[in-house]
Chain A
Amino acid sequence: MSSVSREQLRALMGEVLATGGKALPDDDGALLADIGFRSLDFSELALRVEDEIDAELNFEAAGLRQITTIADVLDLLTEIQDQ
């Protein structure tokens, strides 16, 4: 199974935002609420990752956690690819 690197994840995240006419800032600490990255965007990003790795992501494995920044999204999606 292939995996998507953090840089690739960032690029995909930028593409998802660009479709909605929004830009991804360079700072990984930026708040999702401030950049307008909403649950529909997060869900689309997850599907794009699934398509890249040709496997379903297992969110149950991630447990509950706070997702408020760009880094949180990148960390989560990096981690659960390995589950």
Chain B
Amino acid sequence: MSGAASSNRLIDVRSGRTTTWADLRHVDIPAPAAVVVDSSFAALPSVKAHAETGAEFLVVAAGRMEQALRTELRSAGFAIVDPDGGVEAALVPRPAQDGRLWLLTSGSTGRPKQIGHTLASLTTVSGDMSARTWLCPYSPGTYAWWQVVTLALGSAGQDLVVVDPSDLDSWVAAGIEYGVTAASGTPTFWRQTMMAHKDRLADVPLQQISLGGEPVDQAVLDQLRTFFPDARISWIYASSELGASIVVHDGRAGFPVEWLDRDAPDRPRLFVEGDELVISSPHHGAGLDGAVRTGDAVVIADGRVVITGRIDSDEINVGGAKVSAGVVRGVLTSHPDVAWAHVRGRKSPLVGNLVVAEVVLTSGETAAPEVVEALKAWSADRLPDYGVPRMIKLLEEIPAKETLKSDV
């Protein structure tokens, strides 16, 4: 960490405790290691250790650490450090890579994929900045989480107010109490906040509002403007693979069409091929070079390039959390009563999409509410809550055209 940043304040909303990087407790990382944390704040000592020693590691939220992932990481040479401090050794030990940080992203197949970064490649904002108190509302170890954490690690005067995704309902009160001046969240996060905290939201002294992780529409930007007429409202297009690639501060959805095919040093190049956004970025992860097809669809209208959503419908975006339709389908079809399943996102208020499913039972029954409930419970035991199909429709038979598809 930069010396000037060592006195930045780190505030844990859950415990009400305030500390600094300098005063944070010391931990050793048995590199390479996957550090499992049960809260966002609990990850910070390992971040400090990495900044000081370059120990290779990744942060993973306990809720994401399933047995299959644990085995995969151990096979990839990582020791697992559990929240209680217990260490499970790697299955295939290997030497650590100095300075390496890993992010877990939902790969296109839904299986978590490791993307190699370093503190430098994750730090997209550095240098002298006005002093700010940042809300950190993201799930520990995600790209967006690292974006906020590296800010507080690299620049003086950048304090962190850390709130866990499960405690988000309390953030507005904490934002007022601790004087949060900058906050970053998904459009879903902001829509939920405006709905649940309409009365008090404007009391948070926000000067900088950022949105990312999902398509950003004009409505959510305009609504935020009514609460914060003087704040800078920015949206950011970033991903674990590409890093931050587009930052727009003018309060409008989309980016100016003039930014396409433009060459500028140290800036990503943006292209549109067909209706897909293609980016070649200086902030990309290790091993990714040249132009990357983003899988995100764009529409060009009124001089703006607006990102509308995923081209590949396998990925369902539930309030910023990504779910693979294929993984959910696999969970459903692994149930002994299920003959066939189709999983998709259905457009929904607040969270953008909900996971819904159509299922054919081996019995062919179509009126079996108890089986539907059992399938939801089955899914809830095997998937994060946003991945559980909220509505399951029973069909009498497998739709004919679907049976011709190779992926079913």
- B316 CB to closest chain A CB (Å) equals 13
How far apart are the CA atoms of A39 and B319 in the complex, in Å? 9
Q: Across the interface, do B195 and A19 meet the contact criterion of CB distance under 8 Å?
A: no
Size class of the A contact interface (CB-based, 8 Å): 20 to 34
Q: Across the interface, do B390 and A47 meet the contact criterion of CB distance under 8 Å?
A: yes
Whether A43 touches B348, Cβ cut-off 8 Å, given contacts A19-B373, A60-B219, is yes
Q: Which residue of B lies closest to A57 (CB)?
A: B349
How far apart are the CA atoms of A22 and B373 in the complex, in Å? 14
Q: Across the interface, do B223 and A64 meet the contact criterion of CB distance under 8 Å?
A: yes
Q: Which residue of A lies closest to B347 (CB)?
A: A56
Q: Across the interface, do B354 and A40 meet the contact criterion of CB distance under 8 Å?
A: yes
Size class of the B contact interface (CB-based, 8 Å): 20 to 34
Majority secondary structure of chain A interface residues (helix, strand, loop or mixed): helix
| Candidates A47, A57, A64; contact of B391 at CB < 8 Å | A47
Q: Across the interface, do A44 and B350 meet the contact criterion of CB distance under 8 Å?
A: no
How far apart are the CA atoms of A42 and B354 in the complex, in Å? 11
Interface positions, chain B 191-225, Cβ under 8 Å from A, are 192, 194-199, 219, 223
Q: Which residue of A lies closest to B373 (CB)?
A: A19
Q: Write the A7-34 contact mask toward B (1 if CB under 8 angstroms, else 0).
A: 0000000000001000000000000010
Q: Across the interface, do A43 and B350 meet the contact criterion of CB distance under 8 Å?
A: yes
Q: Across the interface, do B196 and A44 meet the contact criterion of CB distance under 8 Å?
A: no
| Candidates A51, A59, A68; contact of B196 at CB < 8 Å | A68
A43-B390, A60-B219, A66-B195 known; 12 new pairs, CB 8 Å cut-off, are A39-B351, A40-B319, A40-B386, A44-B348, A44-B391, A46-B348, A46-B350, A47-B356, A47-B391, A51-B391, A56-B347, A64-B226
A-B contact pairs, 14 of them (CB 8 A): A39-B188, A39-B319, A40-B390, A43-B348, A44-B390, A46-B350, A47-B348, A47-B390, A47-B391, A56-B347, A64-B195, A65-B195, A65-B198, A66-B199
| Cβ-closest 10 pairs across A and B | A44-B390, A43-B348, A66-B198, A59-B349, A67-B195, A39-B350, A43-B351, A43-B350, A46-B349, A43-B354
